[in-house]
A and B are shown apart, each in its own frame.
Chain A
Amino acid sequence: MTKPKRTHPLGLFLHMAHAIKDYWYLLILLISLYNQPVWFILGWVLVIGAILVWPIVRWVTLSYRVTPEAVEINSGVLVRHHEHIPYARIQTVQRKQWFFLAPFKLEEVTIETASHDDNKPEARLAAVPTSLAGEIDRYRQGAPAPTEVAPAVGEETTNTFATEEPASTGQATAHYRINNRTLFKFAVTSTGFIPLLLILLALYNKIPRSWTDTLINDATHLALIILVIGALVVVLIAWVGAFLWTYLRYYHFDVTLQGDQLKTAKGFFQRNTITAPLRRIQAIRIKQNIFRQWLHIQTVQVLLASKAASDDDDDDLVILPAVPQAQLYDVAPNFLGWLPNHMPDLGALNVADRHKWYLVRNALLVAIIPVAIATWLWPHWWWLFALVLILAYFQGLFAARQTGGQLLTPTMLALQTGHVWTKETYYVPADMIQSMRLERSVWMRRKQLMHLVVNVRHGNKNQSIELRYLQAKQAQRIYDWYVRTV
């Protein structure tokens, strides 16, 4: 390929879809302005500019070229950008294929490097032939011979897991596919319904008063029942929505280890494939929200030093979305060698029973001011606000119970926190801890307590893992270990 090429015209539609996704609120704004003609017209001009003209211009000006040395991207309308990405600098390659692009053998390719610049990926090519990513992969591994790297497809109904002989560099050394039952459990327990619920509630407020009033007038005696049923329906819709969203996104989740590259693929309507190098992993996180705790499934994620998987949960690359708790330490270490092969004891750091109250108190303190204000403004909703306080109480208790940690090996630290009803277990090698902090207030000094904060790089930012109200001796021991080891 010697001449820079434009992406496929279908990419234009993807650009537009992106624009609509980014500026949908403009459309909403527009609808609410229908009775102010001047603003209405101005709004239309803006919207057309944002979702029609701008993407066309962007598409026309974007071109790319793959040479044996680097990927080159030309873009920009007024200011021309010429991006030159040598293969050695590439961190992650992400491929997204919408189902309607599959017949055309097209997909979206996003290339990312470790540069600190900003949170945008270095290159996003909206619709390019599927062969391109393979070509880039080959150049990256320095192997000019085209070897087929089709992932071994496992059976769909069982958790298939195979450890094969590494025949060549391109061959998979470990492979795992989620089974349908686990995925179902995973989707059912998605907490995504909470934001959806809030959106639905907001929409409910937008329903014209006259409708609800007539409804209530017609059935005053049924008002309470209607209200309760209505609330249940809203919750159900939100929950089903979240279920479908998660289920379709993680459909046929596949993870493969190829040499030192981890490759995950997932999605029904949009197949999303991410390739990331193992050596960029900063920490491993095992996550479990409270519902998943009841169903005994856990999620394994890795924190990367690049902003690869921004569409995943919390921007982290999900390695195993849902693994039955009992299997986790059998399956995960095959991909992530850092992990121990059994559930470690995390008792070396903990919040003593008599100190759990502090976490409860803090959770209550955070909740009490908004609750007080809300109760003052809407007194008849007091029961709802009381519920918030009860939730805060148990959240504090949950956090205290989950707090844990242990030095697994002389260079590997395990930490566990209970944050927003989610248990998170981190595995961090000493080499990846950027800095460590101890905090204590005057009052904590008397009680022999300390907070321990561990800083790890996460994307282009910092992630601090905070264990609060530990016994001072325990926290100090970890701190001393850190200062000694590095």
Chain B
Amino acid sequence: MSTENHHLPQRIKLIWRISALGSLVVFGAVTGLIWLAYSYWDWPFWLVVVFGALTIIEFIVEVALVPYRYRFTRYQISETAVEMQSGMIFKKRVAIPIARVQNVTLNAGPLLQGQKLTKVSVATASTNHGIEGLELNEAEALRDQIMQLAREARHDQA
């Protein structure tokens, strides 16, 4: 059984950093709205302070964790199963037998598209499991491989 432990492509770190920036903008906008509420409707000032602080802390933590997130996210494909691993403090490892795979979906937002990356989600009859980002050609190969193996597995069962 050939089982290789793969990391995600390096560029996913950039995507994560940009998405951290995105959440900074969203939280910043919320803080801005609260500030408006403070100046027009006399909402308490501490709300603005708390939200502002949360926004900045969230951003710093998210950016700081990127290398760790990268190190602890892995996937692995064998003849029979796809396995995914993630999380550093709460480590999770999930096994999806290829025979149970119903479909594999690739989707990429503008950010991922720009980097020629794509998300892969593997669906079974009841659950959904995702790999956060893969090279486009790698993802397509993966999808074809899984679907090929899935067809064979079904064939064996019948």
Is A440 on the interface with B (CB-CB < 8 A)?
A: yes
CB <8 Å contact, B124 and A434 = yes
List which A451-476 residues lie within 8 A (CB) of chain B. 455-458, 461-463
CB <8 Å contact, A483 and B80 = yes
List which B42-97 residues lie within 8 A (CB) of chain A. 78, 80-81, 83, 88-97
Given contacts A305-B125, A455-B126, contact A486 B90 (CB under 8 A): no
Shortest distance between the CB of A472 and any CB in chain B (Å): 11
How far is B126's CA from A455's CA once the two chains are assembled, in angstroms? 8
Is A28 on the interface with B (CB-CB < 8 A)?
A: no
CB <8 Å contact, A435 and B92 = no
* Chain A residues within 8 Å of B88, by CB: 442
Shortest distance between the CB of A480 and any CB in chain B (Å): 9
User: Quick one: closest B residue to A463, CB to CB?
Assistant: B126
Is A133 on the interface with B (CB-CB < 8 A)?
A: no
Interface string of A417-438 (1 = CB under 8 A from B): 0000000000000000111111
* Chain A residues within 8 Å of B92, by CB: 437-439
Is A409 on the interface with B (CB-CB < 8 A)?
A: no
B-side interface size class: 20 to 34
Is A161 on the interface with B (CB-CB < 8 A)?
A: no
CB <8 Å contact, A441 and B97 = no
* Chain B residues within 8 Å of A456, by CB: 126
* Chain B residues within 8 Å of A434, by CB: 96, 100, 124-127
Shortest distance between the CB of A304 and any CB in chain B (Å): 12
Is A482 on the interface with B (CB-CB < 8 A)?
A: yes
* Chain A residues within 8 Å of B94, by CB: 435-438
* Chain B residues within 8 Å of A441, by CB: 89-91
Is B119 on the interface with A (CB-CB < 8 A)?
A: no
Which of B92, B95, B124, B126 is most buried by chain A, counting CB atoms within 10 A of its CB?
A: B126
Is A479 on the interface with B (CB-CB < 8 A)?
A: yes
How far is B90's CA from A97's CA once the two chains are assembled, in angstroms? 51
Number of interface residues of A (CB under 8 A): 24
* Chain A residues within 8 Å of B93, by CB: 437-439, 479
Is B99 on the interface with A (CB-CB < 8 A)?
A: yes
CB <8 Å contact, B90 and A435 = no
Shortest distance between the CB of B130 and any CB in chain A (Å): 12
CB <8 Å contact, A435 and B91 = no
* Chain B residues within 8 Å of A305, by CB: 125
Per a CB cutoff under 8 Å, which of B91, B95, B124, B126 touches A482?
B95
CB <8 Å contact, B126 and A462 = yes
How far is B78's CA from A437's CA once the two chains are assembled, in angstroms? 17
CB <8 Å contact, B81 and A455 = no
What are the 4 closest A-B residue pairs judged by CB atoms, nearest first? A486-B97, A462-B126, A457-B126, A434-B124
Given contacts A438-B94, A482-B97, 9 further A-B contacts (CB under 8 A): A434-B96, A434-B124, A435-B94, A441-B90, A441-B91, A455-B127, A456-B126, A486-B98, A486-B99
What are 19 residue pairs bridging A and B, where the CB atoms are less than 8 Å apart in the complex? A305-B125, A433-B100, A434-B100, A435-B95, A435-B97, A435-B100, A437-B94, A438-B94, A439-B93, A440-B91, A441-B89, A445-B91, A455-B124, A458-B126, A462-B126, A479-B95, A482-B95, A483-B83, A486-B98
Q: A-contacting residues of B (Cβ < 8 Å)?
A: 78, 80-81, 83, 88-100, 124-127, 129
Q: B-contacting residues of A (Cβ < 8 Å)?
A: 305, 433-442, 445, 455-458, 461-463, 479, 482-484, 486
